[in-house]
Amino acid sequence: GQQVMQIPQYQHVQEGEDFTTYCNSSTTLSNIQWYKQRPGGHPVFLIQLVKSGEVKKQKRLTFQFGEAKKNSSLHITATQTTDVGTYFCAGRKDDKIIFGKGTRLHILP
Amino acid sequence: DGGITQSPKYLFRKEGQNVTLSCEQNLNHDAMYWYRQDPGQGLRLIYYSQIVNDFQKGDIAEGYSVSREKKESFPLTVTSAQKNPTAFYLCASSRSRGPGQPQHFGDGTRLSIL
């Protein structure tokens, strides 16, 4: 079936280091959304990418959608302790929304 | 403040028992969803509803049932047929199920077996 693969599953970084999580789909997506879930919390919508090759920034976060609309990435520059949590991508194909399994980010002080 | 309210926060089920998880939204959203979250598994769709009195099965609907009698409410029943119900259940809503609609999530219900 359709899948959205997300890597890595876990990432430990020193505070101040950069972090990147990647999503890959076997099929072309209509759009991709990114969510953040803090420990013990619920997913919160961050952003949506629609166009091929689109790049969007939110402060230290940079989101990219691949040219073929099959992959996406989230890059955090100079991580802070407030960045801790699990980052999920959710790809849309036709009428289905498929969540990746998430990347859990842990910040080492 | 508009939002999604899930209750209870924690729920325990005995063997052979049905339990119902509540989800209410005051965002005036048409679409509502139920997800199950297990460690390392991400979010898996159980059921969704695009409009009142209509709902569709998601990827893991077996052992679950829903109703959508009111726009604001989308309760989920975990039946005794669901043999492994221990999980974190998340309800979400969006303005519609059309493309480009972000989902707003409730705080979740954590269900455990006694």
- Residues A68, A26: contact at Cβ < 8 Å? no
Q: What is the pLDDT of residues A43-96, one digit of tens each?
A: 999 999 999 999 999 999 999 999 999 999 999 999 999 999 999 999 998 878
Q: What's the average model confidence in pLDDT over B46-62? A: 94
Distance, in angstroms, between B13 CA and closest chain A CA?
A: 21
Nearest to A106 by CA among A17, A26, A11: A11
Cα distances from A59 to residues A26, A62, B12, B64, B86, in angstroms, run 30, 8, 42, 41, 38
- CA A39/CA B4 separation, integer angstroms: 19
Residues in chain B: 114
Is residue A31 within 8 angstroms of chain B, CB to CB? yes
B41–A101 C-beta distance less than 8 A: yes
Report the mean per-residue pLDDT for chain A: 94
The fraction of chain A above a pLDDT of 70, given in percent, is: 98
Confidence bin at B35 (pLDDT 50/70/90):
very high
Confidence (pLDDT) at B4: 96
- CA B78/CA B13 separation, integer angstroms: 9
Joined together, the tokens standing for residue A104 give 């859990």
